[in-house]
Amino acid sequence: MINVFIGYDPREAVAFSVLAHSMHVRASEPVSITPLVLSALRGVFSRERHPLQSTDFAFTRFLVPHLSGYEGWSIFTDCDMLVLDDIANLWRLRDDRYAVMVVKHDHQPRETIKFLDQPQTQYPKKNWSSVMLFNNSRCTALTPEYVNRASGLELHQFKWLKSESLIGELPRRWNHLVGYYAPSRDVSLVHYTLGGPYFQEYRDCEYAEEWRQELERMLACTQRAPA
C-alpha cells in the first residue's frame, strides 16, 4: 500500500479532490490517501496560526511520521498539485539511506504576494517540504510536541535532522513549480505554486487545461447514473 498524506485547506477543497483523483486513476498499486484536516488533528496539533502561514497544513505536514506510527514510508504533498504519472514511480524512489527525500529547489520568489493575497516569504530550502518522502522510523524527532513548538524555519529547513546528508534528492519532475520553471511536458507532478487554475486570476496558468480536464473526468465519474 502506498501511503499518501495531502495537505487540506477548505479554501482549496476542490484542489485536494482533483489531486487525489489524479493519483488514484494513474496508480498501478493500491493507494491510501489521508487529508490533513485540522479538525481531525485536534488531539495532536494545538499551535496557533502564524501570521505568515498561508495554508492550514503549513505545519501539520510534519505530523506525517507520527500519524504513520513511525513505521514504513509515507508521501506528503501540498494540495495545489496535479499528478500526471503513476504515483508508484515516486514510491519506488524510496532509499533507506535517507530520512526524508525531496526535490531540492533553489526557489527564490520574486513576488511578495501569492494566492488569496497571502504574503510570500523567502528562506533557504523553500518548497523542499511541499513534496516529501518520509522514511518514518528515521523521523522520530517529529513528535507532536516538537511540531507544536518548533519554528517554521526549524521545520521547513529540516533542522530536526542530525545531518543534511539524511536528505535525499528526488528528480525535479516530481515537483514542477509552475511560474518558476520553464514550461515543460516532461513533468510527473505539477505544483501550482502561485495559485491554481481553480482561482480566477490563475485560470490560464501552465497546465491549467490539464487540471480542468482532470476535474471534468472526476465529475463525470460522480455524475454517472447507477446501474
Closest to 76 in 3D by CA, of 152, 4, 172, 19: 4
Q: How far apart are the C-alpha atoms of 68 and 132, rounded to whole Å?
A: 14
pLDDT at site 106 = 85
Q: What is the model's pTM? A: 0.90
Q: What is the pLDDT of residues 153-199, one digit of tens each?
A: 999 999 999 999 999 999 999 999 998 899 888 999 999 998 999 99
Q: How many CB atoms are located within 10 Å of the residue 199 CB?
A: 17
Q: Is the pLDDT of residue 87 over 90?
A: yes
Asked if 82 and 19 touch (Cβ cutoff 8 Å), the reply is yes
pLDDT at site 40 = 96
Q: What is the pLDDT of residues 109-157, one digit of tens each?
A: 665 555 555 555 666 788 999 999 999 999 999 999 999 999 999 999 9
Q: Bigger pLDDT: 224 or 164? A: 164
- Report how far apart, in Å, the C-alpha atoms of 45 and of each of 32, 129, 136, 200 are: 22, 18, 18, 32
Mean pLDDT of the chain: 91
pLDDT at site 194 = 87
Q: What is the pLDDT of residues 7-63, one digit of tens each?
A: 999 999 999 999 999 999 999 999 999 999 999 999 999 998 877 677 899 999 999
Q: Residue 96 has which C-alpha cell? A: 533507506
Q: Which domains does the chain have, with CATH numbers?
A: 2-222 (3.90.550.10)
pLDDT at site 60 = 97
Q: How far apart are the C-alpha atoms of 134 and 146, rounded to whole Å?
A: 17
Q: How far apart are the C-alpha atoms of 181 and 118, rounded to whole Å?
A: 21
